[in-house]
């Protein structure tokens, strides 16, 4: 039995490559290709990116897409979202510096971001045929990058938010994401009940630690921007709980690798 498969997820294993796909997005597999990679694939760039390029070749071959059409920005935990048009593809190109979200309506452009506990947001709008790939770390979540993305779909592509689908990929869950009191207070002050948020921050036992549910924050933000509940789908997988299959900084520390989320219009 495939270990990570559930009501929303399909765990694929083929030729030594493992990844997951989301059943809601697979409803449109004639129009989009997507995945979230699993170990042993590792997309962490250090001194030499030849290994990473080789990893992209592997996963793209498995998905039957061309890795030469890859767009990977230099993520800095910002709330910057940029549209991909006719720029040259590549990793960390000058056009996509300090960018944590990509959106496009162009075909054959692979949008790739990397994760190791942060929240991946896969977007697809099937009427206008627009996709998005968003990296919402805790800093990006605090800056509401999901709101930035949704509004860019509307302003740049004229989408109706009621048609917009968002799948929330694997990330650290609200029972595992421990933060100190300073960060907890920042989140509690911003995402409070008066502003439509509940149970975002919880005290963690008797320690001076708190738990934050970043997935829940993103879900509420998406709701407030007009997405319907039926179009916000959680995969139900925590990167720390399932660190045997996925890279997790909270579990593995500085040695942690990186998973990648890919999405492409055909």
Q: Is the pLDDT of residue 47 over 90?
A: no
Q: Is the pLDDT of residue 2 over 70?
A: no
How far separated are the first and last CA of the chain, in Å rounded? 30
The answer to whether the CB of 194 falls within 8 A of the CB of 186 is no
The residue extents of the domains of the chain are 9-171+231-265
Give 195-220 pLDDT, tens digit per residue. Answer: 778 888 988 776 788 999 999 999 99
pTM above 0.85, yes or no: yes
pLDDT for 206: 65
**Residue 82: strand, helix, or coil:** strand
DSSP structure class, residue 36: E
Q: Is the pLDDT of residue 158 over 70?
A: yes
The answer to whether the CB of 217 falls within 8 A of the CB of 200 is yes
Give 221-232 pLDDT, tens digit per residue. Answer: 999 999 999 999
The answer to whether the CB of 174 falls within 8 A of the CB of 187 is no
Q: Is the pLDDT of residue 165 over 70?
A: yes
Give 58-103 pLDDT, tens digit per residue. Answer: 999 999 999 999 999 999 999 999 999 999 999 999 999 999 999 9
Cα dihedral 58, 59, 61, 65 in deg (nearest 10): -140
Taking the domain 9-171+231-265, which CATH number applies?
3.60.140.10
């Amino acid at each position: 039995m495939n270990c990570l498969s559930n009501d929303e997820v399909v765990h694929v294993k083929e030729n030594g490559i493992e990844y997951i796909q989301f059943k809601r997005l697979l409803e449109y597999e004639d129009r989009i290709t997507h995945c979230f990679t699993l170990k042993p694939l590792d997309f962490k760039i250090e001194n030499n990116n030849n290994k990473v390029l080789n990893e992209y070749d592997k996963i793209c071959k498995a998905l039957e897409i061309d890795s030469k059409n890859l767009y990977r920005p230099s993520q800095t935990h910002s709330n910057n979202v940029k549209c991909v048009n006719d720029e040259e593809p590549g990793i960390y190109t000058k056009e996509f510096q300090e960018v944590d979200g990509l959106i496009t309506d162009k075909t054959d452009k692979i949008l790739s971001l990397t994760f190791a506990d942060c929240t991946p947001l896969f977007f697809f709008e099937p009427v206008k045929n627009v996709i998005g790939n968003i990296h919402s770390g805790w800093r990006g979540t605090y800056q509401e990058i999901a709101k930035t993305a949704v509004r860019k779909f509307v302003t740049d592509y004229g989408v109706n938010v009621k048609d917009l689908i968002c799948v929330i990929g694997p990330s650290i869950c609200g029972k595992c994401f421990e933060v100190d009191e300073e960060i907890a207070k920042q989140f509690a002050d911003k995402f409070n009940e008066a502003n439509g948020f509940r149970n975002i921050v919880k005290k963690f036992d008797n320690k001076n630690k708190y738990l934050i549910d970043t997935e829940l924050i993103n879900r509420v933000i998406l709701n407030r921007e007009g997405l319907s509940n039926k179009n916000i789908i959680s995969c139900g997988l925590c990167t720390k709980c399932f660190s045997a299959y996925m890279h997790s900084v909270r579990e593995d520390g500085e040695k942690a690798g990186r998973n990648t989320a890919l999405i492409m219009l055909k």
